[in-house]
Amino acid sequence: MKKYLLTIAAALVMISGCVKDDEFLSTDPKDLLTDDAVWKSPDLVLSVLADLYNRYPEQQTITNWAEFTNFDEAFPSESGQYWRTKQVDYPYDWWNLWDYGYIRDLNLFVQKCSAAKELAADVRARFVAEARLLRAAIYFEEVKRMGGVPLILEPMEYNFSGDPTYLQHARAKESEIYDFVISEMDSIKTVLPEDAGIKSRATKWLALAMQSRAALYAASIAKYGATTPSVSLPGGEVGISADKATAYYQTALGAAQQIIGSGKYSLYKKKAEDLEENFAALFYDKANNPEVIFAQDFKLKSGKTQEWTLVNQPWSSAEEQQGGRVNPSLNLALLYEKLDNTYSPFATNNGNDYIYYDDPKDIFAGRDARLGGTIILPGTKFKGVPLDIWAGVMYWKDGKYNTITGDNFGDLDSIPVAGAPKSSQVVGTDGPIDGLQFSAQTGFFVRKFMDPTVGSGQIGTRSDVWWVRYRYAEVLLNAAEAAFELGQPGLSSTYINQLRERAGFTTPLTEAQISFDRIVHERRVELAFEGHEMFDNKRWRLAHKVWNGENISANDVVSNIGKADKINTMIYGLWGYKIFNPGSPNNGKWVYRVVKPSNVTAAHRFNFGNYYSRIGSDILSNNPKLVKNPNN
Amino acid sequence: MKKIFVYTTLILTAFSCRKDNYEAPSSMLSGHITYQGVPVNVSSKDVTFELWEPGWGKNGAISVAVNEDGSYSALLFNGNYKLIIPPSQGPFRSITDAETKSDTMLLTVNGSREMDIEVMPYYMIRDAKMERTGTTVINSSCRLEKIITDANARNVESVFLYLNQTSFVDATNYIARSSLAGSDITDPANVHLSVNIPDVISGNGTTGDQDYVFARIGVKISGVEDLLFSEVQQINLK
């Protein structure tokens, strides 16, 4: 009996256990979505698009703090990063980018979404326009770093014939890539929404802002590239002929004026009572921000947070045992003008004697509000906690000042003068302590993008302040630069004066005061820590002059302020000292010294070969049609 | 028993590694970058040329650095190479090769080999003299000979006199320098420069007093990134 049962059971299994072969092999997967499923659901298409947004190319950004310390804007106050101020040359393969994986995904999206007839036409059109904007953005980034690259607008397929030569494409001209970006923006701007409240997805206004920026880059490469003839290739893959400059400047101005004329955006002025706070709030206030055009957004408790505040928080108010990494340089700080429109270094000395300040903040008084809005200064507060930035005590003994300092945050020591307290603090809780990581080794901390919310400095919470990629102030600066280059300094000054008025200046610049140096200056002070400096210096062909490898002295740092081609190869700091001299009227006052942190040992040198990064030898040998970039 | 096991393991370990498949490269290619047999002095680490060995799957250059005194050396496998000086390298232009009719030079390496590479420098610094005058100044004089005089000729942008504590003396390694703009040179056959000796020679972080410095004349040619140098000279201060 048992035997029969077994036989019958086995027979049943044999007959019914196996499905037909073709059905077995065509079971729908349970762990991934198929093309068919995705391209009929707007929600799923949006999530595909979200991934493409997430791969938007960046160089300096708040999620990659150390990149801000490569040049002269800031010093890296972390022990593993001092090499950045110790290296002379920038490797030629730095900043190189050859992201055809991303470009292919964007091309696939454009192709498949255009064919997705089950989506509503307007929804589909918006998705496609967004992907085309992202594709233009990556090509813009490619051309900024590499010059002309192969312009691939269709997803390419390999036919396994053993001969891949039909997939190999030569590099386009540098101007062709810029033309592509400009024309793409023209064709998608009518499709994208006009709602200025959309900040993290593409809008018509982002398309115009990107067009303005790209045209400005192309124009300045055409104009200033003439000064560096060796940075060009005979085929035009690098370099744009000078006669194209005017047309590009006109495009840049026109696109910017469309945004300005629309009235959809304005400069952030919600906190007019405190202009420094206003400038800082422009970056962290995400509610109805009238200035931000496009940002990478973050959200608390969602897994997508950023740690800019965590890595840069001052020690005095730190919520973890870390912070203080990005230390803005004195080189940057003294660019901010006095409110009477004059450049002036911070006054440290008066003849042979120091200048004594009652309050540590007094030395910074009467300046462009963007100084305090961009940089956390000694004597100010962050998160309501007063900063404690001072390098030591200067005490009077034997007819001269002697210095005593500590080697840890807020160290106590006894000042070796009769009558001094047995133990007193000899260095600030925030530093600066030379060589001590997380202390303000230049005497400053960064303020831009810092989140004043409680918890933003905690590893477990972090911050949801967004990374602003395009904002209205840059549009004004683009317009100002293009107008100036087109011989309309009067128009240029009206744009620049809007920014300066917001920064607290009461006397507008006149038409005659607008110069190339002024344009460069306004971009540097307004857009510091927003990832513009290197690319601006590249397109103006200033980089090899500004970072020329020559050592600079403290005297060099404080002179020639406001000159576009001022040498800025080494980072300096400004350290405050407390005076201990009982019986003197100066007792308890503050003096300042210009100091070079000891970890700044090398002068940066930007070679001609750095203007356009090296294309890797693997890429070159895979595609013999590519030409190498000049000088590397 | 245990001991035997241990020794056996040791012996087996010792013999378990076999020789590499490849011999290490052993042919030394060395020489100087020269003009008419005279080495062309350059800055340190900045000037390179490329060796290509065709016939392998992927292409990639062997980059050979040129030393301050114009010498170079590379340890190579025997084989046929192509030598090319990239156009952006050095204060000179490469000479069109008679064999390939291009800037590429064919090269066979079979055992160690000395080879000077002739180039066309824009200028040569001749008769460079550097000497101490008194205790505070170093004076120098030299003659600038313009070598390339055809359509590719270039002007001198400026001439520098550098001092450094070590024998690496160039535009990024110096403790004192003086400069003379090219437009201020009245007689290229007679270029004079002087520089003050800094109070502390050991300026680059090292301690200890040093009673000698190294000096060198550098020429910046307009539109050319790499400077041309004279030979490094040690100057005693006492």
Closest-CA residue in chain A for B45? A89
Nearest-by-Cβ selection for B59 from A229, A601, A617 = A617
Chain B residues lying within 8 Å of A607, measured CB to CB = 225
pLDDT at B210: 77
Q: Is the per-residue pLDDT at A259 higher than 90?
A: yes
Tell me how close the Cα of B224 comes to any Cα of chain A, in angstroms.
Answer: 8
Do A148 and A212 reside in the same domain of the chain?
Answer: yes
- CA A472/CA A467 separation, integer angstroms: 14
In 3-state terms, chain A is what percent helix, strand and coil (to 5)? 40, 10, 50
8 A C-beta contact, residue A538 and residue A609: no
pTM of the model: 0.89
Tokens 């190999």: give the residue. Answer: A168
CB distance A88–B88 less than 8 Å?
A: no
Confidence band (pLDDT; 50, 70, 90) for A606? very high
What does the block give as tokens for A368?
């462009």
Answer whether B225 sits within 8 Å of A617, measured CB to CB.
Answer: no
Q: What is the dihedral of CA A627, A141, A98, B63, to 10 degrees?
A: 50
When comparing pLDDT for A604 and A9, which is higher? A604
- Count interface pairs A-B at CB distance under 8 A: 34
User: Quick check: B225 and A230 CB within 8 A?
Assistant: yes
Is the same domain home to A181 and A213?
Answer: yes
- The long-range contacts involving A343-349, CB below 8 angstroms and separated by at least 24 positions, are A343/A561, A343/A562, A344/A561, A345/A558, A345/A559, A345/A561, A346/A558, A346/A574, A346/A592, A348/A574, A348/A591, A348/A592, A348/A593, A348/A594
pLDDT at B95: 87
Candidates A603, A617, A621; nearest CB to B172:
A603
Least confident of A373-382, A432-441, B174-183: B174-183
Q: A101 with A203, same domain?
A: yes
CA distance A306 to A311: 10
Shortest Cα distance, chain B CAs vs residue A199, angstroms: 44
A575 and A617: one domain?
no
A554 within a domain of the structure (yes/no): yes
Residue range of the domain that includes A594: 308-466+549-601
H or E element that contains A212: helix A204-224
Domain count, chain A: 2
- Looking at the fold, whether A340 and A246 belong to one and the same domain comes out as no
Establish if A369 belongs to a structural domain: yes
A85 contacts A602 by C-beta, under 8 angstroms: yes
d(Cα B112, Cα A35) in Å, to the nearest integer?
62
Residues of A within 8 A of B223 (CB-CB) are: 229-230
According to DSSP, the residues that pair with B214 across neighbouring strands are B164, B234
Q: What is the pLDDT of residue B228?
A: 92
* A549 contacts B223? CB cut-off 8 A: no
Average pLDDT over residues A354-373: 94
Give me the interface pTM, i.e. the ipTM: 0.77
| Residue whose structure tokens are 């002087």 | B194
* One domain for residues A630 and A568: no
- Quote the minimal CA–CA distance from A631 to chain B in Å: 5
Q: Are residues A108 and A186 in the same domain?
A: yes
Token output for B183: 């437009």
Q: How far apart are CA A68 and CA A512, in angstroms?
A: 34
Nearest CA in chain A to B61: A617
Q: For residue A502, what pLDDT is reported?
A: 94
Q: How far is B87 from chain A (nearest CA, A)?
A: 7
How far away is chain B from the Cα of A603, in angstroms, using its nearest Cα? 8
Claim to verify: residue A325 and residue A373 sit in the same structural domain: yes
Q: Report if residue A101 sits inside a domain.
A: yes
* Inside any domain, residue A295: no
Give yes or no for a contact between A238 and A228, defined as CB atoms under 8 angstroms apart.
no
Cβ–Cβ contact B152 with A under 8 A: no
CB distance A620–B59 less than 8 Å? yes
pLDDT score of A398: 86
Residue of B nearest to A91 (CA): B46
pLDDT surpassing 70 at residue A14: no
What confidence score (pLDDT) does residue B202 get? 60
The residue type found at A17 is G
Report the residue from A609, A618, A632 with minimal CB separation from B58.
A618
- Return the bridge partners of A467, or none: A296
Test the B interface: residue of A88, A548, A567 with most B CBs within 10 Å: A88
Query: What's residue B45's pLDDT?
Result: 82
Interface probe for A, chosen from B88, B152, B160 (most Cβ of A below 10 Å), is B88
Tell me which of A227, A434, A599, A608 to substitute to probe the interface with B (most B C-beta atoms closer than 10 Å): A608
Q: What is the SS3 assignment for A271?
A: coil
Contacts of A347 (CB under 8 A, 6+ apart): A355, A363
The verdict on A230 and A340 lying in the same domain is: no
Give domain status of residue A21, yes or no.
Answer: no
Residues A541, A225 contacting (CB under 8 angstroms): yes
- Comparing CA positions, the residue from A293, A299, A336 lying closest to residue A525 is A336
pLDDT for A575 equals: 95
Nearest Cα neighbor of A494 from A477, A515, A516, A470 is A477
Q: What does the pLDDT average to over A76-95?
A: 92
Average pLDDT rounded to a whole number, residues A395-414: 90
Whether A582 and A433 share a structural domain = yes
Q: Which two tokens stand for residue A230?
A: 């060796």
The lowest-confidence range among A38-42, A220-224, B202-206 is: B202-206
Confidence of residue A4 (pLDDT cuts 50, 70, 90): confident
> Which residue in A334, A326, A327 sits closest to A557, CA to CA?
A334
| Chain B nearest C-alpha distance from A624 (Å) | 10
Question: Are A596 and A614 in the same domain?
Answer: no
Tell me if chain A has a CB within 8 Å of the CB of B61.
Answer: yes
- Cross-strand pairs, B82: B52, B106
How far does B58 lie from chain A, in Å, by closest CA?
6
Decide if A286 is inside a domain.
no
Is B172 in Cβ contact with A88 (below 8 Å)?
A: yes
H-run or E-run covering A58: none
Helices and strands, counts by H and E, chain B: 1, 18
- Tell me the chain A residues in contact with residue B88 when contact means C-beta distances shorter than 8 Å: 230, 608-609, 630-632
Which of B56, B165, B172, B224 is the mutation pick for testing A, counting most A CBs within 10 A? B172
**A384 and A454 Cβ atoms separated by less than 8 Å:** no
Q: What is the pLDDT of residue B238?
A: 73
Prior bond to A76 cis, omega within 30? no
**Minimal-distance CA residue of chain A relative to B88:** A631
The chain A residues in contact with chain B (CB within 8 A) are: 88, 229-230, 549-551, 601-603, 605, 607-609, 617-618, 620-621, 630-632
B3 touches A: beta carbon within 8 Å = no
pLDDT, one tens digit per residue, over A42-71 is 999 999 999 999 999 999 999 999 999 999
Q: What is the mean pLDDT of residues A225-239?
A: 92
Residue A353 and residue A585: Cα distance in Å, rounded? 14
The packing angle between helices A489-502 and A516-526, to 10°, is 30
Residue B10 near residue B54 (C-beta atoms within 8 A)? no
Strand partners, B121: B92
Binary contact (A550, B205; C-beta < 8 A) = no
CATH code of residue A114: 1.25.40.390
Q: Which residues of B touch A550 (CB under 8 A)?
A: 171-172
A317 DSSP 8-state letter: G
Nearest chain A Cα to B176, which residue? A551
Q: Which two tokens stand for residue A606?
A: 């930007």
On whether any CB of chain A is under 8 Å from the CB of B62, the answer is no
Please judge whether B205 and A601 are an interchain contact, meaning their C-beta atoms are less than 8 angstroms apart.
yes
In Å, how far are A385, A559, B128, B218 from B141, measured between CA atoms?
62, 32, 6, 12
For chain B positions 80-119, those within 8 Å of chain A (CB to CB) are 86, 88
Instruction: Return the residue in A92, A230, A626 with the most chain B beta carbons within 10 A, the one to mutate for interface testing.
Output: A230
Residues 179-218 of B with CB under 8 A from A: 205
CB-based contact A242:A222 (threshold 8 Å): yes
A322 and A406, same domain (yes or no): yes
d(CA A47, CA A235): 40
pLDDT at A116 over 70: yes
Residue A539 to chain B, least CA–CA distance (Å): 18
Range of lowest pLDDT (A161-165, A235-239, B11-15, B226-230): B11-15
Backbone angles phi, psi at A411, to 5 degrees: -60, 150
Domain contains A540 = no
| CA–CA min distance A146, chain B (Å) | 17
Note every long-range contact of A520-527, with CB atoms under 8 Å and residues 24 or more positions apart, other chains counting. A520/A564, A521/A335, A521/A562, A521/A564, A522/A477, A522/A480, A522/A496, A523/A477, A523/A481, A524/A332, A524/A335, A525/A335, A525/A336, A525/A368, A525/A370, A525/A374, A526/A370, A526/A473, A526/A474, A526/A477, A526/A499, A527/A473, A527/A474, A527/A477
Domains in chain B, CATH or no CATH each: 27-121 (2.60.40.1120), 123-236 (2.60.40.2060)
Mean pLDDT score across all residues of chain A: 92
**Whole-angstrom distance, CA of residue B168 vs CA of residue A13:** 84
Looking at per-residue pLDDT, the higher value among A23 and B231 belongs to: B231
Q: Which residue in the block uniquely carries the two structure tokens 């980059």? A: B63
Give me the percent of chain A exceeding a pLDDT of 90.
83
Q: Is residue A274 part of a domain?
A: no
Q: How far apart are CA A575 and CA A593, in angstroms?
A: 5
The residues near A228 (Cβ < 8 Å, ≥ 6 apart) are A541, A544, A608, A611
Query: For residue A134, how far is the Cα from the chain centroid?
Result: 18
Contacts of A476 (CB under 8 A, 6+ apart): A256, A260, A267, A495, A496, A498, A499
CB atoms within 10 A of CB A571: 29
Per-residue pLDDT of chain B (238 residues; tens, 9 = 90+): 677 778 877 777 766 666 667 778 889 999 999 999 999 999 888 899 999 988 877 778 889 999 999 999 999 989 899 999 988 888 998 888 888 888 888 989 898 889 999 999 999 999 999 888 887 889 999 999 999 988 888 999 999 999 888 889 988 888 888 989 988 888 888 899 999 888 776 654 455 567 888 999 999 998 888 899 999 999 888 7
- Cβ of A229 within 8 Å of Cβ of B223? The answer is yes
CB A49 within 8 A of CB A108: no
Gap between the Cα atoms of A137 and A210, Å rounded: 8
What whole-number distance in Å separates Cα of residue B202 and Cα of residue B208? 7
Question: What does the pLDDT read at residue A247?
Answer: 96
Q: Mean pLDDT throughout A83-96? A: 92
